[in-house]
Amino acid sequence: MRWCKMRWRRLRETLYVFFLFWIFSFAYGDVVDSDKSVLLQFKSSVPDPSGLLSGWSSVGGTSDHCSWFGVFCDSKSRVLALNITGGGGGGGHSSSKGNSEAFSCSKVFQFPFYGFGIRKSCSVGRGKLGGKLSPALGKLTELRVLSLPFNDFTGVIPDELWGLQKLEVLDLEGNSLSGTLPPKFEGLRRLRVLNLGSNKLVGEIPTSLSNSMGLQILNLAANELNGTIPQFLGKFTELKGMYLSLNRLGGSVPSELGNNCKNLEHLDLSANLLVDSIPRSLGHCSQLRSLLLFSNMLEDVIPPEFGRLQKLQVLDVSRNSLSGPIPSQLGSCVELAVLVLSNLDDPLTTVDKSNRDTSLGLSNPSYDDFNFYQGAIPDEIVNLPKLRILWAPRANLEGVMPSNWGACNSLEMVNLAQNLFIGEIPSAFRHCKNLHYLNLSSNRLIGELDVNLPVPCMTVFDASDNHLSGSIPIFNQSSICPRIPSLNSHPDELYDPSASYLSFFTSRIQNRSPLTSLEASGSFIVFHNFGKNNFTGYLPSLPIAPGRLGRQTVYAFLAGGNKLTGLFPGNVFEKCDGLSVMIANFSNNRISGQIPEKIDEMCRSLKLLDVSRNQISGTLPPTLGNLSSLVSLYLSWNQLQGQIPDHLGQLKGLRYLSLAGNNLTGSIPSSLGQLQSLEVLDLSSNSLSGDIPKGLVSLKNLTLLLLNNNRLSGQIPLGLANVASLAQFNVSFNNLSGPIPLNDDLIKCSSVLGNPLLQSCHLFSLSSSSSGRQGRNDVSQNYAASPLGSPVKRRNGFNSIEIASITSASAIVSVLLALVVLFLYTRKCAPKSRIRSAGRREVTVFTDIGVPLSYENVVRTTGCFNASNCIGNGGFGATYRAEISPGVLVAIKRLSVGRFQGVQQFHAEIKTLGRMRHQNLVTLIGYHASESEMFLIYNYLPGGNLEKFIQERSNRAVDWRILHKIALDVACALAYLHDQCVPRVLHRDVKPSNILLDNEFNACLSDFGLARLLGTSETHATTGVAGTFGYVAPEYAMTCRVSDKADVYSYGVVLMELISDKKVLDPSFSSYGNGFNIVAWARMLLPQGRAKEFFTAALWESGPHDNLVATLHLAVRCTDESLSHRPTMKQVVQRLKQLQPPP
């Protein structure tokens, strides 16, 4: 009995265990089936045109979901990872089960320095998934890795994904996901990798991200995030890579980032709106390998503490507003391979092949780098043993060019162009056997070139625009040249970030060179520029090594602007046969000789030949027509004679032909009308005769046609008025007759001067005398000057029109002589007091406006300066509107008599201002100055001043394009005064009321140069100097020391008023205390990420946010308290042009 009970108990226990196992197995099977069901649901929700998920099926395919492409499971068939990389194959993670076909890849970014340390690049194409992410993925509760990068997913990230408690890797990089990051990361406490880069996410980085303390990779780059960089990111002690570039993050870089960064290897904060100084605490990040801070508005100095970064390989601080000396402590960064201190080429722009054809430059830079350092480059830096790239163009570096470059075995690229270096080109470069790029152009270097420099092996050697002398040496040529980084390679960024910089700079040099328009696809450019120096001697043979020759090589040898002599072409074309394209510029030298008859056999690969402004003589050989590759031919301003050969019409690819300033005779060959590619034809200043060929009408690409200063006759082909591409046209000073083709936009009176037989121009006409050829119009002087100042010869004899002209002229001269005699007689008899009175009433005129300007006329039309005609009051006096004659309006500024140091000094000063001409300066038409009255006559602008415009802005719809145009116009005017006027002019009172507008919102600056005439005791408002309170630079107000940077400060204040709804001393600032103004307000908002509050609501809603914020940063930069930190007005103009809104 007892035994039976025991057996029953054991049986019951066994059955119970079996029952539990059965229930568990059933439940587990449901869970496994649920994972499979979620995957199928995901598949059905996404477009899959390439069939990436075609194997995902329980019918007809493999039923085991763990063997599906991109799916990885554990030993219990639970899904641990879903990894499908679009456009570059799938990604792989180790697991017990999985598809071994998947590879870790990513697409190649247009942005070249993105994601060091994240992944490798590949080019395996597998297609992409699309649509919206399925919320069902949130049911994969065992999921550790969700990696779906480089697909076409759109919409918001489902909330369900943020609740995956076991998720360690979330990689959705390179899609088109939008929306904001969630305010709460509910369960992602195990997250190690958060990679959401290159999407369309907006908003701020949420504070709830601070819960994911185990993050090792944080990539939010290339989105549209705003706000500031959170301080809590400095608490992520496990972080190895932080990528926040290409966003709209403002404020300063938190110093907290350097507090717990012992594992940080890559920090990329580039291409944001960051301000203030670089935190010195980043010097604590001992494992840092790459630090990218470029394209921000960072200020102050490069921290010397960076010298502690022993493992740093790449440091890029370009395109900021840094100053001060380059810290010598960087010489302690023994692993440093790339140091980019400035960069004129924006790395954020895509490769844009230039169509310009010029042989005097290598890049198409954007001047957006405000880094202006002090002093030289420390020797400690150029001695770094692993330095591969030193890039610091136009960085304000000065001193003697560093001479000790150490062993330099690793050095490959050096760009120190457009600085202030003196001394000689270091002979130490002869030991840099891997150096293939050396740009030292536009410095102050002297001395001779070392024959052992590895120039023949360099792809770029640019020593132009210096003071080098001696001959261009025949360099010792190495038989083996260093390998150049492949343009199509995708370097292993995970291990060598410097390789990306080498590839990028090499690619930009090759793809953005202006020589690109002359090259064939797949060509390799070699560029050697010796131009604009003091080189003497003969032209050497081409300084290119045999290892650089090849059928894909485009070689540019530039030596223009020197003092080279000898016969052309000498031995210069000896290696032409080994080149795909030859480009030669030897212009502006003293080269003589003739163009050889067999030039077509010497260099068949010649595409550009420029020997203009030399002493080449003889005739043009017909064999020039056999140079079938020729695109540009510049032979102007030599001593060529004879006729233009018909054979030039065979050059079907010719785009630029300039033969101006020679002694060519005969007619213009009709064969030139066959050059359908021709864009520029300049045959001016010769002795060509005959008709203008009608075939030129068929040149549909022609943009410039200059035939002036010849002996051409006949009529102007009427069809030229219909050549849509033609932008400049000049046939002045010929013997043309007949009607002028009707095209006011192209054919103006200034284009047809000195052709007395032409029908009368609707504006004016001049005779063909040599005095008339000096011209009354500035435009005509550029293209219509008589060659060598001599008149153009004409046919013998006079026609009837000429006889009538001479008779009329004789009568006019007789009358004028009589008037002169009468004037002298009356002047002699008049009382002296009367003479002085008449002298005081003279009006000096600088610009003819078509009606006489007299003292009496000015006084009468202003109603004796009646208040009813007053249109403004300023520090110099009142301004009046005057209608001199019907429809002719001028503005009269009546000056306060006695404010100037003397009438004679005023005469001298004002005449200087009268010579200034710029489209954004109010034109000073004339003036009157006497002891009792002074006034200036300006052109009248009907749109009022900028002060009125700002006040009334709320009553009209004003978009960003108009505001940008006004800002750019004023900047251009100031840049002209500062940089192009001799002597240069400082305005000293830039403010909205001194900026006038026309009806098209074109802005003109007024009152320029007048402040100079004020005594120091005279003021405009409440300041003790010339200027207006609120707009005056602080150093000017305190010390009375004036500089162009004071105008920059005032401009920055005006720019702030233009884009905000506040005045410089707005009443709303009173709550902040005394001294708080619009500048302080901007400096308060930007670091707090509150830039939106600065702008008018309408402007913020309609304008591009990033451009608006960038403009505000520019205004803040202009108002920096430090003069050295403020940009020049030229730099301001360049920056505003970069922010140009689309038309």
At residue 718's C-alpha, the angle toward residues 715 and 720, to 5°, is: 110
Cis peptide before 983 (omega within 30 of 0): yes
Point out which residues pair with 982 in neighbouring strands.
none
Query: Cα separation of 994 and 886, whole Å?
Result: 27
152 is catalytic: no
Residue 346 structure tokens: 């924006």
Question: Nearest to residue 120, comparing CAs of 380, 497, 471, 444?
Answer: 497
Dihedral sign (CA 281, 283, 289, 293): positive
- Residue 235 assigned as binding residue: no
List CB contacts of 175: < 8 A, sequence separation 6 or more.
148, 149, 150, 151, 152, 153, 154, 198, 199
Residue 177 structure tokens: 């996901």
Task: Report phi then psi at 189, rounded to 5.
Answer: -80, -15
Query: Cα separation of 1143 and 1140, whole Å?
Result: 9
Residue 585 structure tokens: 């510029």
In angstroms, what is the C-alpha Rg of the chain? Answer: 37
Amino acid at 108: V
Task: Report phi then psi at 580, rounded to 5.
Answer: -80, -40
Separation of CA 881 from chain center: 41
> Which residue in the block uniquely carries the two structure tokens 């740009």?
439
Dihedral sign (CA 974, 975, 976, 980): positive
SS3 track for 76-139: CCCEEEEECCCCCCCCCCCCCEECCCCCCCCCCCCCCCCCCCCCCCCCCCCCCCEEECCHHHHH
Separation of CA 890 from chain center: 38
Query: Cα separation of 640 and 651, whole Å?
Result: 20
Residues 506 and 319: beta-carbon distance below 8 Å: no
Helix-helix angle 1044-1059:1105-1118, to 10 degrees: 150
- Residue 848: CB atoms within 10 A of its CB come to 11
Decide: helix, strand or coil at residue 1050. helix
Residues 561 and 529: beta-carbon distance below 8 Å: no
> Which residue in the block uniquely carries the two structure tokens 């005095």?
771
Question: Nearest to residue 705, comparing CAs of 733, 683, 734?
Answer: 683
The catalytic position among 369, 682, 989, 1047 is 989
Which one-letter DSSP state was computed for residue 1141? P
Q: What is the DSSP string of 660-722?
A: -SSEEESBPPGGGGG-TT--EEE--SS--EEPPPGGGGG-TT--EEE--SSEEEEE--GGGGG
Residues 1141 and 1060: beta-carbon distance below 8 Å: no
Dihedral sign (CA 736, 741, 742, 743): negative
List CB contacts of 744: < 8 A, sequence separation 6 or more.
none
Please enumerate, by residue number, every residue annotated as part of a binding site for ATP: 893
Catalytic residue numbers?
989
Known binding-site positions:
893
